[in-house]
Chains A and B, each alone.
Chain A
């Protein structure tokens, strides 16, 4: 594929007035805004930073601090919840201030400063503070950043834009752990080096965001490098923020469908544990499962994003759950080890590629520029919370009826839920400007 580094859409195209349908353009020259690519690079650097630390944290806690990982795992669930709640606040504040870039900046900067804490702090309390700051930062930045991607993209190719962003993001998620383990391979007790490297990547990401990414404003329509002051004067009278935008009409149906499907998304951890229980190959490669899923995710992100632009985002989002269904079935069926494991990870990656960025694109499509941040955050929060509920519920099922049975039950429910979601969302038209 071809990514132009110079093509920021014209303001009128942002508004979704009828531009030439994408399908009429020659293949291979569809472009993605340089702002989206830059945001992707920022996310990639930040993910290298956070995933490199996340990967070695258990080793650090047990090997250096001499603690058991009980303490860490105990708090982890709590942070996930904090992150989800902060996320909706981040999206909302970003809409209120009409400053997605700087709200996102705060989130990224918080995570980078937290890395410095790792270098100078020591002990479990410092570690806890750092991890909390990191999660809060992630919660703050996600929705405004996605609003920024929306503002920088043409509505018809928003799926592709998110695809490009998620691809770069996941390159970081796959590289981070490998980089960290490589450092520890060369310097077995080089945790400080990992922390310093992590800080370096986070700092570069923050600087690129602060200096290079234009402060795109949804309301002001001043794009590019226009100063904040100019944006404010040019802005149309400030629209009153209205929660109804996300609680009525098609958006409500999207949230309902995403929530229903989220309740049947049990979390990779459980799928990995089912795979691992086969022993042999899967047990040996267990630590690499998440890298496998990430690689599949990044490989499918752009094609599936583009597909969503072409055939409709709701369709790709809903039917992407068929890949999840396939992953469940592959994990539960007694097929040969290696094939089942690899296939299962590919399905999981495809599922994320078909749903993660696509849902953000869908939420952006159904909200006004003034409410992109809140809308995207709402969709992501619904998914995060329902998946959390699902993981807890699935835990019960797991012990009640056993590993394979429980995953097959969820698979059966999902097989019913997918067509229901498809019916629920059938009236949502494809992108404006498309036939």
Chain B
């Protein structure tokens, strides 16, 4: 082949493969437009109807208009029409007057932020996150916000998997990153190099529970944290993503019931804090990778991906005593937060 023929061949192949990529792009764009402007796949009430009183605040994952936005439904009618507020979030947590929204801001440079909104959607506070949002919790009185994000490496910046869990105060105090806290296991101060923290649940304004995980061995500890003394004390093992029950007596969490690392299968479980007794709720056989929420003292809620529909999820309920099968609680929903 002459040089000219060679470059002609390269140009021909380039036109073909770039043409294919462009075709995929155009089809993708039209599909996205069609989905976005299509009416919502589920009944929506007007924004003025933002549920007051006892309610569930969540991320709406129904295809069509309002996908990804924060929604609320009254506790009495969780499958009824949902009120949307025009704020898109990946993860949401709510208290009486406000909700915190963790999101990935698209752009040529993606950014990750946490923003605190009042219920009508006006912004009160905003701060950057280190990576992709994972978990969010607000303290009972709404002054503290805990966030967990994945700090992801890059081929030039690979630090392996790590999470960053920080506690942000709305009154200007800074409680910082849990990694800087003192970790106590079996009465001794330890500092394993591969520790990570995730999934905070607040008891009050100084005390909380969280997960301390060791990446290498896969061991996870339930730790009780104190924001004043900046200490974390391990009180149990095999507990991930704790969630304190409304009566403060039990912790709902996910436990690895088979596999490990990339093949881990998580099953919801409940631990009695006084006795340390754990009940694995194995009536739920699907893999639950979520921080559980309590609907009331007898029922837990969690999100699961909807089979075969990318980007869609449902919130399921399950009796906390393991007495019954899981039931669909809110369709097309994610990241439930119960406000009462």
| Nearest CB of B to A100, in Å | 19
Using A181-B109, A188-B32, A267-B158 as known contacts, say yes or no to A283 and B262 having CB atoms under 8 A apart.
Answer: no
Interface size on A, residues (CB 8 A): 74
Residues in B with CB closer than 8 Å to A270 are 159
Contact B18 A200 (CB under 8 A): yes
CA distance A66 to B90 in the complex (A): 12
> Nearest A residue to B334 by beta-carbon distance?
A66
Contact B10 A72 (CB under 8 A): no
Contact of A75 (CB < 8 Å), options: B134, B157, B262: B262
Residues in B with CB closer than 8 Å to A73 are 152-153, 160-162, 215
Does B227 make an interface contact (CB < 8 A)? no
| Nearest CB of A to B1, in Å | 7
Q: How many A-B residue pairs have CB under 8 A?
A: 183
Give residues 283-310 of B contacting A (CB, 8 Å). Answer: 289, 305, 310
Residues in B with CB closer than 8 Å to A277 are 177
CA distance A388 to B103 in the complex (A): 33
Contact A69 B191 (CB under 8 A): no
> Nearest A residue to B156 by beta-carbon distance?
A290
CA distance A71 to B287 in the complex (A): 14
Contact of A189 (CB < 8 Å), options: B28, B177, B262: B28
| Nearest CB of B to A90, in Å | 18
Contact with B along A174-208 (1 / 0, CB 8 A): 00011001111111111011001101100110011
Using A200-B18, A399-B192 as known contacts, say yes or no to A67 and B154 having CB atoms under 8 A apart.
Answer: no
| Nearest CB of A to B69, in Å | 13
Does B143 make an interface contact (CB < 8 A)? no
> Nearest B residue to A54 by beta-carbon distance?
B155
CA distance A115 to B304 in the complex (A): 29
Contact B7 A212 (CB under 8 A): yes
Does B173 make an interface contact (CB < 8 A)? no
Contact with A along B142-173 (1 / 0, CB 8 A): 00000000111111111111100000000000
Range class of the B interface residue count: 35 or more
Contact B106 A76 (CB under 8 A): no
CA distance A121 to B159 in the complex (A): 27
Contact with B along A7-38 (1 / 0, CB 8 A): 00000000000000000000000000000000
| Nearest CB of A to B86, in Å | 16
Contact A193 B18 (CB under 8 A): no
Centre residue among A66, A190, A267 by max chain B CB count within 10 A: A66
Residues in A with CB closer than 8 Å to B192 are 399
Contact with B along A278-303 (1 / 0, CB 8 A): 00000111111111011000000000
A-binding residues in B (CB < 8 A): 1, 6-7, 9-10, 13-14, 17-18, 20-21, 24-25, 28-29, 32, 90, 104, 106-112, 128, 130-132, 134, 150-162, 177, 191-195, 215, 261-264, 289, 305, 310-311, 313
10 A-B pairs with the lowest CB-CB distances in the bound complex, closest first? A73-B161, A269-B159, A71-B262, A200-B17, A66-B305, A196-B24, A196-B21, A193-B25, A58-B152, A395-B193
A-B contact pairs, 25 of them (CB 8 A): A54-B154, A59-B110, A62-B134, A62-B150, A173-B155, A173-B156, A177-B154, A178-B108, A185-B107, A187-B32, A189-B310, A190-B25, A193-B24, A193-B28, A196-B21, A199-B21, A200-B20, A204-B17, A211-B9, A212-B10, A267-B157, A287-B131, A289-B157, A294-B156, A396-B193
